[in-house]
Structure 1
């Protein structure tokens, strides 16, 4: 299917993109385009203009500030897989990025695009929840930082306001092991269920994606595990991870099957970080 007619603009800077957004509120930002273009072809989205930000150096780059890893929103999935700084400061991210799409998607798609789109079956939201990430958002009026717990609000819903752009992702240094486990749809490679775990001396943080309108922390399992990562305790804590009635059921998987997958994948991830 063909898209509806639209104008195309290539931004020369973040400020240039923000000005274009202010002048045309119906416009959409284009980075990798792997979520936006298919929805436009199906006419589920019909922006009057696309603002291409894929070539902006301001949105690229990986650096460290103290104990915080800072990712530009334009960093690709492939960069996260192979970058040595990311592997040192947040090893959960490369483990997650390997699961994203296929080689073409990983080489073109960006972490900022995933965050802005907020697909409930995307991989990063679970891992960013477990890592305690923060997002820098910029508009013509200034900048603000929003924590991951407050950013993802629902299915394709975020704390982004009109005229704002995700510019950076800030991640505290990961103190301990991390693992991401996923049962994916065979065609789209999106998560039917995905589970991210970070284990540190203080305990574990566990988050799940694909099973509801947004990624969610598995607080009950975190409390049950505590700092005891023995196989016996993991088996006990993951026997009933989540109530099936609180999960999404669709043509890909029922609520009950997603609840079963949540237990299996949480168990696998926890066994990997022992």
Structure 2
């Protein structure tokens, strides 16, 4: 580790002001940032902790929408997001107790790790990402591996999840990291089905449009029988080949549909 300044504002306005420094970086749960700093892959001059901003914590539900504060940790989502059971179940599967009690939903979405769970939930839910300056439709938010539509100094203040009729998240877990080797979040709304896949693609989280169309017409795992995810853009690493991950996309989607029923 190396020397850096640390500030812990108590309001969003104070945090945004502190982030105007070119060397400043926001710190939420720190589950990715701190290890990268220890490895000297990241070297911010100032860490601006968001954990002291009480307005960014908590969960509420109204008019069919679940709203989660940006620095709400995974353990709280698992315990208190009962209005959206599939989302609560997803949060309960993230990492281990230490990670779940430190990591935050806003930090996960802002980092956009290609194997993280929350991006699949947000994308499948048609969520809205609320920042200190605007609201971003989730289909515009994720822009590739570790890349989002967030601008410098912009922070996620909350996330709005429309609650679906039924939903399920199925994760084929990499046992050492507990990240998703491939994870699929399926939601069914009155106007159709959304399918989001994480952990598989070199581009990060993505929607499987062909499965969405088939499942909107027939919400059954049988509707996937003739479909296949191309393997050309899938990840190949020591845990699995591109072809294996492409196969898992279909398998985990079928399991998610069956579980949602």
- The TM-score range, normalised by the shorter chain, is over 0.9
Tell me the CA shift for residue 5 of structure 1.
2.1
**Pair 1:236–1:58, CA change in 2 (3 A):** closer
1:214 to 190, 204, 207: 204
Tell me the CA shift for residue 14 of structure 1.
1.2
State the match for 1:169 in structure 2.
159
State the match for 2:11 in structure 1.
13
Tell me the CA shift for residue 229 of structure 1.
3.0
Is 1:50 matched with 2:47?
A: yes
State the match for 1:95 in structure 2.
89
Is 1:28 matched with 2:25?
A: yes
Tell me the CA shift for residue 165 of structure 1.
0.8
Tell me the CA shift for residue 159 of structure 1.
0.5
Tell me, yes or no, if the aligned pair for 2:210 and 2:227 is still in contact at 8 Å. no
Residue-by-residue CA offset, 1:190-209 (whole Å, 9 max, x unaligned): 11110001124544211100
CA RMSD of aligned residues (A): 1.5
Query: What secondary structure sits across from 2:253 in the alignment?
Result: helix
Residue-by-residue CA offset, 1:104-152 (whole Å, 9 max, x unaligned): 11111110110111111100111111111001111xxxx2100100001
Is 1:135 matched with 2:132?
A: no
**Pair 1:229–1:27, CA change in 2 (3 A):** same
Matches of 1:238 and 1:108 in 2, distance apart? Answer: 40
Structure 2, gaps ≥5 residues long? none
Matches of 2:225 and 2:51 in 1, distance apart? Answer: 41
Tell me, yes or no, if the aligned pair for 2:66 and 2:160 is still in contact at 8 Å. yes
State the match for 1:187 in structure 2.
176
Q: What TM-score do the two structures reach when normalised by structure 2?
A: 0.94
Structure 1, gaps ≥5 residues long? none
Tell me the CA shift for residue 161 of structure 1.
0.4
Query: What secondary structure sits across from 2:89 in the alignment?
Result: helix
Matches of 1:172 and 1:235 in 2, distance apart? Answer: 26
1:79-90 correspondence runs (5 A): 79-83=76-80, 86-88=81-83, 90=84
Matches of 1:198 and 1:15 in 2, distance apart? Answer: 35
1:102-251 correspondence runs (5 A): 102-138=96-132, 143-174=133-164, 176-212=165-201, 213-230=203-220, 234-238=221-225, 240-251=227-238
